[in-house]
Amino acid sequence: MRIKRPRKKGARPSTQPRPTSQLLDGTFRWLKLDEAASSFRAMRAFAVVAATTRIGEHARGERLRGSILYVRCDSSSWSQHLHMLKESILERMRKTPGGEGINDLRFNVGPLDEVAGWELAAESAPEAPGAPHALPEEIAHALGDVEDVELREHLARLYGKLGATTK
């Protein structure tokens, strides 16, 4: 039988700080969401690796089963190309958070719009809240000549970021 000693008033138990990832992993296990969380981490790791090349335009992580990540490709030629690059992709994924436990990649062909994608650009460079930066007149005039609206917005945002860092 263990006798509990009364704790000093205001004293807290001594514990060492733990990384947030350990806390979240335990919470996901408790909620029985650990498999889903590791699947999302693996798919995001593939998206990070694919974003540095043209692979991201033609392939997306689809699901994780055990240590095998299934990747959806938009054509059989991309599936074959990625199969030949499998070892280098796996090597880069293992260096990316979330991709450490991936031992194999399997590629299948199908429409990419059925598979969720990752918006990595928004995560890696969050925009400052508030009004957008005012562009100098000559830059605004030059951007006015760009016909593609999306490209014009990206260029204006990029100039705003560069202008903010050089001031």
83/159 same-domain check: no
Q: What is the pTM of this model?
A: 0.58
DSSP bridge partners of 106: 70
Residue 113 CA: distances (Å) to CA of 65, 73, 77, 83: 21, 11, 18, 21
In sequence order, the 6+-apart residues with CB closer than 8 A to the CB of 61 are 42, 43, 44, 45, 46, 47, 69, 70, 71, 72, 115
How far the first Cα of the chain sits from its last, in Å, is 70
33/65 same-domain check: yes
Structural domain contains residue 10:
no
Structural domain contains residue 156:
yes
Contact call for residues 96 and 48 (beta carbons, < 8 A): yes
86/63 same-domain check: yes
Structural domain contains residue 8:
no
Give me the pLDDT at residue 64, please: 92
Mean pLDDT by 10 residues, the chain (167 residues): 71 73 78 84 90 87 92 94 94 91 94 80 42 71 83 81 59
Give me the pLDDT at residue 13, please: 66
Structural domain contains residue 7:
no
Give me the pLDDT at residue 15, please: 75
